[in-house]
Amino acid sequence: MQRVYFDNAATTRLDPVVLEAMLPLMQENFGNPSSIHGHGRVVRSAIEKARKTVAGLLNAAPAEIFFTSGGTEADNTAILGSIDTYGITHAITSPLEHHAVLHTLEYLAKSGKIKLSLVAIDEAGRLDYDHLETLLKTNPNSLVSLMHGNNEIGNLLDMSRVGDLCQEYGAIWHSDTVQTMGHYRHDLQTLKADFIVGAAHKFHGPKGVGFLYTRPTERGSIHPFIHGGAQERNRRGGTENVYGIVGLAKALEIAYAEMAEHRAHIEGLKQRMIDQLRAQIDDVQFNGLSADLDQSLYTVLSVSLPPSDISDMLLFNLDIAGISASGGSACSSGSEVGSHVLGALPGLDPNRGNIRFSFGKYNTADEVDFAVAKVAELYVGVA
């Protein structure tokens, strides 16, 4: 049976060139990078070369990049570290954030360590920037945590506008850039974020490795999230995931080199799916701004299908039909709990079936045609 993969926002296929770069660190160059002998020095050199590669691509300094186990750890490090180090008493986020951010801030609020405010959104998930400014005006010493690209509905944040507001009101700004890293260019000399994050497996690198960028500040470096060693310039204890780090750097290097080509290809696939879904299914809708290529991630399309008897079993039926997709957040795609992102959108009909299709460079037009045909087939005569 033919199977197609449209869950690239959850994870992407490892690029063979990335694997090739990783193999020497998994086999012959096996030393501990903290060891001072020859075996260790070779591996330490590979880590520092990777750090320079990532920093160069992002227009940052190598000392501003440190490696983590992934996006979740990087988000937690930025949030917990800045609140602890800088004595922050108030945090601002949105109800649409990834749980790595939302659950962390909710935990801190319940523990009494911070006051938490949520920025208002409209029915399409657009952020109310005037409300954000009001929150900043009335709450000094704030941390703002807002993602660049939403992992479920694809909405893009106006990074420049948020950066200007945070700078004006003296707020620390952390942005979860997991979904946009490797797909959009980030110039950290012009972007005013204090922290951004990346996870290699979102741009055809290995799982279990990510990084955190930290902007130098007069307030000093944040306290580490993980203690236990002097690794990563005393910012993250634990022996480094060396082959993961090397793979991350190679994957990001490829992503930047081929970004324009891949974007054109993927945008074409997304538009093809939008057009075909509209042509073949009555009353198909799209959640958030995901059908607007100018205001959403070109890799994500959130589809809302008419209410029917199969809405509750939609993903199961698609899987049986050979289509791997998601109904919500990538990190909880196997959960029976409904999407908190879709649930936060005012006026969303809970009886409609929702699918998130997310595209990558290995997808083809034939796969789009196959997926749309299967979805249309499911909806014939069942509404």
166 is catalytic: no
The torsion angle over the Cα atoms of residues 102, 249, 266 and 297, rounded to 10 degrees, is 20
Residue 100, classed as helix, strand or coil, is helix
For 58-113, list the strands marked E by DSSP: 65-68, 90-93
Closest CA to 202 of 330, 115, 66, 368: 330
- The rounded distance, in Å, linking the Cα atoms of 236 and 255 is 26
Report the amino acid identity of residue 68: T
Report the amino acid identity of residue 319: D
Eight-state DSSP code of residue 13 = P
End-to-end CA distance of the chain: 27
Closest CA to 69 of 209, 181, 248: 209
- The rounded distance, in Å, linking the Cα atoms of 358 and 235 is 34
Q: 199 — phi, psi (to 5°)? A: -135, 125
Q: Annotated catalytic residue: which of 120, 259, 331, 344?
A: 331
Burial 16-54 (b: 16+ CB within 10 A, else e): eebbebbeebeeebebebeeeeeebebbbebbeebbebb
List active site positions: 331
